[in-house]
Amino acid sequence: MRIMRIAPIVAAALLAVSTVASGEYQYVGSGPQSAKVLVEFSDGTAYAFGVSFRDPSTTGIGLMDIIEAGTTLTTLRVDDPYFGTYIDGISYKGHSNSGYGGGELYWHYWTKEPAADWVWSMVGASSRVVADGCADGWVYGRDGAPRLPGDANGDLAVGTGDLSIMASNWMTGGGKTWADGDFNGDGAVGTGDLALLATNWMFGQMPAPAPIPEPATLLFLAAGLAVLRRRGC
């Protein structure tokens, strides 16, 4: 019976492995301080970056400079006499949004201090000085706070706590939300959500990145889902 209980989740894990080709997160830069940057395009695709830096006067725009230097991400910037330099467009891995299209169709800039919630920034990215442990978020097309796929508990990291949340909601029906582990927005917690969690697994342990789970590791995670569910965690 135990094998029968675990088998469906193991199968889901195997399917998840086939959908995870590479990590959605990257670590760039160098220095004793670090920050996180989340970028979410209008189609819901999100990317996470861990950025290390040395200059204590580094700004939100400075973080994007480091990301551009270390990845293929590019930005379109506008210099405004009142708001300074702001980002009007971002392109990365085939995703691109730019300009103002009415309503919420523009790049919303969010900031997060250590141990605090996300807030919509009241200053431009060129004026916002980042500190060790801070986070910046860029969201196009919606006014909600940035979200890291796989991060159910909102601590800007993906790990065992999020896995436990997924376990408690695994294949239990519809009506689920992001906080329940539904990262792909289909109202349920299943294979697609497990793939997203695996893609960003252990992101947030800075400055050294943790590798994406190998198939054997993901099987272990899947088995863990079954164990946690049986325990009622």
Strands 33-40 and 135-140: parallel
The backbone torsions φ and ψ at residue 96, rounded to the nearest 5 degrees and listed phi first, read: -155, 130
Correct CATH for 25-140 of 3.30.70.1290, 3.55.50.30, 1.10.357.10, 2.170.130.30: 2.170.130.30
Of residues 79 and 16, more confidently modeled: 79
Quick: pLDDT tens for 186-202.
999 998 898 888 888 88
C-alpha gyration radius of the chain: 18
Of residues 35 and 81, more confidently modeled: 35
> Where along the chain do its domains lie?
2-23+149-231, 25-140
Averaged confidence pLDDT in the chain: 82
Task: Determine how many CB atoms are found less than 10 A away from the CB of residue 72.
Answer: 10
Q: Can you name the residues that pair with 40 across neighbouring β-strands?
A: 46, 139
Q: Are 61 and 85 in contact (CB under 8 A)?
A: yes
Q: What is the DSSP string of the chain?
A: -HHHHHHHHHHHHHHHHHH--S-SEEEEE-SSEEEEEEEE-TTS-EEEEEEEE--TT-BHHHHHHHHHHHSS-EEEEEEETTTEEEEEEEEETTEEEES--STT-SEEEEEE-TTS--EE-SS-TTT-B--TT-EEEEEES--SPP--TT-SSSSS--SHHHHHHHHHHTT--S---GGGT--SSSSS-SHHHHHHHHHTTTTTS-SSPPPPPPHHHHHHHHHHHHHHHHHT-
- Grade residue 18 by pLDDT with cuts at 50, 70 and 90: very low
pLDDT over 70 at 88, yes or no: yes
Identify the CA nearest to 95 among candidates 140, 30, 133.
Answer: 140
Of residues 30 and 228, more confidently modeled: 30
Kindly report the length of the chain: 233
Quick: pLDDT tens for 40-76.
999 988 899 999 999 999 999 999 999 999 999 999 9
The model's pTM is 0.78
pLDDT over 80 at 214, yes or no: no
